[in-house]
Amino acid sequence: MMTTSKRVTFSRVFMAWALLGVIVGLVILLSISPTYYAGTATGVEQGNPPPTPTPGPTPIPPGPGCRDVVVNGNFESAGGWITYSALGVSVISSFPPPSGAYHSGRRGAYLGDYNLAHDFIAQQVNIPANATKAVLQYWWQVETQESALQPYDTLTVFVDRPFGQATEVLEILSNQNADPAWHVSAYDILRYRGRTITLRWEAKTDANRPTAFYVDDVMLLLCVDTTLRRHAFFPWVAR
């Protein structure tokens, strides 16, 4: 028969074990829950890598006072471009790129793809003195029979300035950029404000294993400060 003091001792021991059980349970729960919530909060399931972002155009906010000044930048209609091909063929073409389709529509610039090539497309643009933004953007794709060891065949993007001033190279793509997918390049050229420049994409290949360069959706986004132009004509307005 259990005495009163033994009952008290038993009760204390039972409560101590129960308290220990609750503490252990809490510790286990807290150690598991952060992992669980981290997984559900980001929507990423355990063991699966996060989704790869889908490539898209560089975000260029149109905004008020902004417009694309390239004529026929998608190559879908006639006009806008000065073109040259040493082979004497049209460099604005519907010949399909390795990805299977042009970035827009059914046509684009198709440069090179033969040995000792010299092809280009060019367009003159004016960047007004009151420009506040001038971003050149274009999509490109390269296909080659070359190895990737050296840049044997190239597509050079030039900014030509009149009156014998130095030409600037914005970008040089080559057989080393070969990939059956569209890529985008974007350059700030606001430093040419107040000038008329010619943008030129020139392909040159060496004597063997040709490379093809495809260009589509050329855009020059210009934003202008209309108040600055008004002040230029009516300087007293600014006072």
DSSP state of 127: E
For residue 180, the minimal CB distance to Ca ion (Å) is: 17
Binding residue for Ca ion, selected from 102, 138, 139, 214, defined by CB under 5 A = 102
- Chosen residue from 83, 104, 132, 198 binding Ca ion by CB under 5 A: 104
Q: Which is nearer to Ca ion, 73 or 127 (CB)?
A: 73
Question: Quick check: 137 binds Ca ion (CB under 5 A)?
Answer: no
Q: Could you identify the residue written with the tokens 């150690």?
A: 31
The residue within the footprint of Ca ion, chosen from 39, 105, 128, 151 (CB under 5 A), is: 105
Interface residue with Ca ion among 113, 119, 143, 153 (CB under 5 A) is 153
How is residue 128 written in tokens? 């007004």
Which of 187, 188, 190, 186 lies closest to 225, judged by CA?
A: 190
Provide, rounded to whole angstroms, the least separation between the CB of residue 173 and Ca ion: 14
Within residues 110-129, the interface with Ca ion by CB under 5 A covers none
Max Cα-Cα span within the chain: 116
Pattern 179-208, Ca ion, x by CB under 5 A: --------------------------xx--
Among 33-41, 79-87, 108-116, 128-136, which window interacts with Ca ion (CB under 5 A)? 108-116
Name the H helices within 50-128. Answer: none
Tell me the three state secondary structure of residue 200. strand
Element (H, E) at 37: helix 4-42
- For 79, other C-beta atoms within 10 Å of its C-beta total 6
The CA distance from 131 to 162, in Å, is 19
Q: Among 92, 199, 216, 218, indicate the residue that binds Ca ion (CB under 5 A).
A: 216
Under rule CB under 5 A, how many of the chain's residues touch Ca ion? 12
Sign of CA dihedral 176, 181, 182, 187: negative
8 A C-beta contact, residue 139 and residue 150: no
* Interface residue with Ca ion, options 118, 183, 193, 209 (CB under 5 A): 209
DSSP secondary structure code for residue 103 in this structure:
S
Segment lying near Ca ion (by CB under 5 A), choices 8-16, 38-46, 86-94, 215-223: 215-223
160 in contact with Ca ion (CB under 5 A): no
Name the one range near Ca ion by CB under 5 A: 86-94, 148-156, 160-168, 179-187: 148-156
Going by the DSSP 8-state scheme, the letter that residue 78 receives in this structure is S
* Site residues, Ca ion (CB under 5 A): 74-75, 102, 104-105, 108, 152-153, 205-206, 209, 216
